[in-house]
Amino acid sequence: MIAQEQKPIEEILGYLEGKQKVVVMGCGGCATFYHTGDKKAVRDMGERLRKEGKEVTEIVLPLGISACEIDMSSKFLEKKRKAVENADALLMMSCGDGAQVIADYIEKRIGATVAVVPANDALGLVGGGPKKFKETCQMCGQCELGKTVGICPLTACGKGLMNGPCGGVREDGKCEVDPEKDCAWVKIYERMEKLGELDKFTEMRDPHAWSRAKRPRLFEIEEPVKPVSAILGSLPSYLTLFTGPKYEEEE
């Protein structure tokens, strides 16, 4: 999940200065979980912009329909196509990925020239929940977890070291960069010890291949997912959410 937070309203209004007709579009994916692009967030933003004298059209994406999944989100754009074509700006309440996918669709498929501006700041790929989340992956293109017993040294280590802790690791096992955080390599050592794999700790690991993270990366899927079929096929799994044990978050 991509963590995000809404930009200060002053910054948003700065992007919209001189733009009278504004479309506000949300996202039913990550932005809904973070309340930065759900129905309420879109409605609240619409009201805020109307108070500034803007003419606002709102596009709400339901839960499960992410802005970046253009096969589905485009259907909601098309319902408000006229408003989009006539808009001076579209305020995207999603991560930057969603904003760019929507901007590309408007330009190439709708054929309109509209300034697409962000309402949110994306903070990283995170895991955990239901309330507390932690950045877990930076999508580097070459996963190293198999070498480090499931703890990512690139994300968990303040210096991204691949071959053990730095000389600044504290006596209490905390990180030199952030004394509130456990040293990633101390955690790796402890997990290897529990698994009986300490011999792997001293193995020399190759430098991380950052060339795999060159931007932008392009991908092609041989057989795209059919959203309706996928949703219907997943219904039995969704039903188990209401019958299984309740998850209790650790303090």
Can you give the pLDDT at residue 70? 93
What is the CATH code for 2-125?
3.40.50
Can you give the pLDDT at residue 1? 87
From-to residues of CATH 3.40.50 in the chain: 2-125
Task: Give the pair of three-digit tokens for residue 16.
Answer: 């919209």
> pTM here?
0.78
Distances 9 to 143, 196, 226 between C-alpha atoms, Å: 37, 53, 38
Looking at the chain, list the stretches that DSSP marks H as alpha helix, in order from N- to C-terminal side: 9-15, 30-33, 39-51, 70-79, 81-86, 96-105, 153-156, 184-195, 227-239
Q: What is the mean pLDDT of each run of 10 residues along the chain (251 residues)?
A: 93 96 96 94 98 97 92 93 96 95 94 94 86 85 91 92 93 93 95 94 90 76 70 70 54 49
- Distance from the first to the final alpha carbon of the chain: 21
Can you give the pLDDT at residue 247? 45
> What is the secondary structure of 52-83 as a DSSP string?
TT-EEEEEPPPTT--TT-HHHHHHHHHHTHHH
